[in-house]
Structure 1
Amino acid sequence: MKTVIFPGSFDPITNGHLDLIIRASRLADRVIVGVAKNETKNTLFDLQTRCALVTEATQQIEGVHVLPFSGLLADLAKQQEAQALIRGIRGTTDADYEIQLSQVNKALNPQLETILLAANGETGFISSTVVKEVFKHNGDISQLAPCCVQKALITKQV
């Protein structure tokens, strides 16, 4: 069984994230969406809420498992017996950064590969920050994020 990990903060999950998760599910039997607990990031949603939103948004995608984590991604990959990390890239700046991260992860876990997936042209411009900003200014986020995110943002009264 091939296992990959798609890590991120998912604050909140977007349609861009969902596109990458769906594409990853075609490459592996098991896709772990690793929702990061990062003390240095000031997230809008707490870890439990972010995991719940990812779970709801991915419930129809076969083989997807949501897992909160903290610490080194290379260690999580060892624990979960993952063969690869999935990372999305929007352009050369992302690619440069992701290549550096892949080299660090490879040094920490020599068995771990990184698969860089180019963002889809229809969703590549979407980020969690964009979703929050559009919502904050009363814009329509229905094309940017799953409906559970809009409900959560309304509840949060952003």
Structure 2
Amino acid sequence: MNIAVFPGSFDPPTYGHLNVIERASKLFEKIDVLVSENPGKNSLFTADERVLMLKTLTEPYHNVEVHKWDRLVVEYARKIDAKVLIRGIRNVNDFSYEFDLSLVNHNLNPEIETLFMPTETRYVIVKSSSIKELAQFGGDISGMVPPVVCEAVLKKYRK
């Protein structure tokens, strides 16, 4: 089976993430969206909350599954026999970071290849950290995240 893994923090999931998932779902028999569970990061949402949102958002794609993981992505890929990691990129800065990471992952597991998918132009400015900051100060994030995510983000900042 032709399986790809799309790892990320997805804190929160954005329209940019969904764009990559939708496009990748047309290229591979199966996509595993892998929510990173990193206790060293100060996330707005728990890994379980992010998984739940992504499962809801990816329901239309029958070949997409969502899982959480707290170890190296290449270990997960090896476990499910995936040979491709998908990385969404918005700009040259993303590419530089992701390129270096792809070399590390390839050194850890030479069977793993990284596929870079540039986001569509309309999602270039959509960045999770900017979304959280904008929402924290009462800005409109509805054009950057799906309604279920928008509601969840705003609820976190209303507390």
Match of 2:140 in 1: 140
2:121 is paired with a residue whose SS is: coil
Q: Tell me how far apart the structure 1 counterparts of residues 140 and 157 of structure 2 sit (CA, whole Å).
A: 15
What amino acid is the match of 1:117?
M
Match of 1:150 in 2: 150
- 2:90/2:123 contact within 8 Å kept: no
The alignment's TM-score, normalised by the length of structure 2, stands at 0.94
Match of 1:74 in 2: 74
Shift of 1:79: 0.5
Task: Give 5+ residue unaligned stretches, structure 2.
Answer: none
Match of 1:55 in 2: 55
Superposition misfits of 4+ residues, deviation over 4 angstroms: none
Matched, 1:25 2:25: yes
- How many matched pairs? 158
What amino acid is the match of 2:67?
L
The alignment's TM-score, normalised by the length of structure 1, stands at 0.94
What amino acid is the match of 1:41?
K
Match of 2:15 in 1: 15
CA RMSD of superposed structures (Å): 1.2
Of the structure 1 ranges 146-155 and 25-34, higher mean CA displacement relative to structure 2 is found in: 146-155
Match of 2:128 in 1: 128
The percent identity for this pair of structures is 38
1:115 is paired with a residue whose SS is: strand
What amino acid is the match of 1:47?
A
**1:33-56 CA-partner distances (Å, limit 9, x unpaired):** 000011221001111111111111
